Chain A
Amino acid sequence: MPAAFPVTAYAAINALGTTTRDVVARLHDGVTGLGACPLELPFETPTGALPEPPPALPASLAAWDSRTARLAVAGLAEILPALARAIARHGADRVAMVVGTTTSGLGRTEEAYHDLKRTGALPQDYDLHRQHSFGAMMEVLRRVTGVGGPCFAVSTACSASAKAVGSAQRLLATGTADAVLVGGVDALSQTTLRGFNSLQILSPVFCQPLSRERRGINIGEGAAYLLLEREGDAATRLLGVGESSDAHHMSAPDPTGEGARAAMAAALAQAGVSPDAVDYINAHSPGTRLNDLSEGLAITSLLGGRVPVASTKGYTGHLLGAGGATEAVFSIVAIEQGWIPRSVGADPVDVDLGMNVPTARLDTPCRNVLSNSFAFGGNNVSLLFGGGN
């Protein structure tokens, strides 16, 4: 069984703010970050765009430019000092990096292809390898951070950065690395928004996860990182990671919730934590009826209807590959600061789910928190965090 690994630093930027402090303050106050979509689209849907565009990359990294790369670097700013200390402590080769993303530089390729169709030529500065590929974002992060150990991107759709936490746990447990920077990054893109629209699951209004009035999902963008180490003092530890596959359908969850339940049960079993000791569940719930029914069954069958269950996608939108890491940060904050955010948009709650969904913030100690991420391909991950001591 892997040990409990301390979370020695964390950071998140998204529609709620461009610093972790702002993000957490607005989550605490129950204020959504959703707003009008900055991209030109032939349909209406709010999005969780960053309040201001991420800064350009340093000149030395200009060849790798994409909005995702900019978000990746902008999100690093607050965690870089802690990462530098970890590199100094352990050596660069003993520090690894695993980051979830679904788009990588997709937005840049959309622009380049549009130019190609319009003018007959690719933009002079477009480079598939440096701007589109998943490895390109990792190269940018490697150059900015100085990390010298294993580096890879995880791309399991909407569970990507939760899945990355599982890989980070394994790198630490096997002694492959002494510290792992783990995170998730995704940017708004035409293809993603039009794709979810084609599936008819985008909400034309602010999304209402866990509400009986839900109308679908909103897409957001952001970056979030955790620094996990083999040893050290921290207020919160990663206690367990549970993973499973539905083996049911590419884009719809198993209606029985069996796969989601298996992931949560595996996280608890790995940590030796009983369901009774879970004080909060950060639900995956992006705002679709099918997901709420499936996840609701999974949660109530494993943990009953007592534990508070909130979705934070009403604050940030669905952050896709950045969602798991972002919601891991929210779960860690719940433990460290002793409050559970109101499930914004959930009122009036879908009572048929049988879950305890808070529509006002709960100021209460949280010993252990589960954070769920489910994805296309039936890919399920549940992360368990607990108090550090």
Chain B
Amino acid sequence: MFGNRRYGWKLGGALALVLALGALSGARGSLVNPAPWRCLAQPERWDGARIWIPAARVASADAEGFVLETEGLPFRVAGRAEVRPGDTVGVAGTFEAAGPRLRLGEWRRIGPLGGTRWIAEAVSIVVLALVAANFFRRFRFRPGAADVEGDA
């Protein structure tokens, strides 16, 4: 199974399967939590989709709900929540094309540590660079190593 015999077929077959899975997932469409901008651009397509916005700033609030500012766009959220303009919140709910708006399900206020995610992301980049350096210390790129027996 892991031998060099029919190398191209095995490698190509596995890559084709990955691509097919991606294409199938793309065709099914609403598998993934769609981005707010995508919902606003095509409200009918995403009507009823479950959406999760991990963190966004509250631009304004009223008795009916509030407006989030996410990806530079205002995004209406319908439902009662004790939020004030300037708060950072995470929300989950169902997108409604009529509006368009998000029907609020769960929500939470992001605490003061919420703004420190960039630190974890900066650390992640450093970790990735170190792991890549270790990887290339252990491995060398030798295209000829994959040649099957019998090749000239």
Our verdict on whether A and B bind, yes or no, reads no
B interface residues (Cβ-Cβ under 8 A, vs A): none
The residues of A with any CB-CB pair to B shorter than 8 Å are none
